[in-house]
Each structure stands twice: as structure tokens, then as C-alpha cells.
Amino acid sequence: GESVGLHLPTLSVQEGDNSIINCAYSNSASDYFIWYKQESGKGPQFIIDIRSNMDKRQGQRVTVLLNKTVKHLSLQIAATQPGDSAVYFCAEGPMNSGYSTLTFGKGTMLLVSP
């Protein structure tokens, strides 16, 4: 399928490295944040979310860190694998609101070399 990764910042890592993908958000009122993964030719896939009352949340090989002071979100992927190659983007919005109020970032392309 056609890539959605053109014109995006790119992070290139070696297999087995840890990857850190960053996202700056602008809306101080946002209290819910989501990371999505989008492989070439596919739709976005939910990875992990975090609420503003937390500053860290861990999943399977992934950790999301939230710094509300500087409005910054990061996604850490441990032991990156070639299958992790994709575009990653964050989304932000008010917690008690529908998905239609989410604001999505442009994304970062992660390239993992064997």
C-alpha cells in the first residue's frame, strides 16, 4: 500500500535498540493522550494511552511518558524489532469527550534495520 510516511520526521534504529518517539502537544486542556501505530497500507492501530493524572504508563515493550509542564509526550519501544517499522503518531483531547474531539499529530516514521 501507499506509504503515509512521506515528508515525516524519521527515526532510524538498529534491531534490538530502544526507540524513543516524541510528541509535543499544544492544548493545555487535553487530559487524555493516545499513541497509534500505522503500518504502510494499513489503518492506525491503538498502542497505549495515558491520562493526565499519570506521568508514566507501561505496556508490552512500550512505555509512554507524559510531561504536562512542557506539554510533551514520548513513546519508548524496548528492543525494537523490524516489525515495529511504521509511522507512529500521538493524539490528544479532553478525557470526557468523544473521539471526534481528538487532535492528531503528524507522526514520526520509525525504520528498524535488521
Number of residues that bind other proteins (CB under 8 A): 29
The reply to whether 107 sits near other proteins by the rule CB under 8 A is: yes
Residue span binding other proteins (CB under 8 A) among the ranges 11-19, 38-46, 59-67, 76-84: 38-46
The reply to whether 106 sits near other proteins by the rule CB under 8 A is: yes
The reply to whether 4 sits near other proteins by the rule CB under 8 A is: yes
Backbone angles phi and psi of 75, in degrees to 5: -120, 120
The conformation of residue 96, written as its DSSP 8-state character, comes to: T
User: For residue 21, what is its C-alpha cell?
Assistant: 518517539
Interface of this chain with other proteins, residues 5 to 24, rule: CB under 8 A: 6-8
Interface of this chain with other proteins, residues 78 to 97, rule: CB under 8 A: 89, 91, 93, 95-97
User: Which class for 66: exposed (0-12), middle (13-18), buried (19 or more C-beta within 10 A)?
Assistant: buried
How many Cα atoms are found within 13 Å in the side-chain-facing hemisphere of 43?
1
The reply to whether 26 sits near other proteins by the rule CB under 8 A is: no
Q: Pick one of 14, 15, 42, 56: the residue that binds other proteins (CB under 8 A).
A: 42
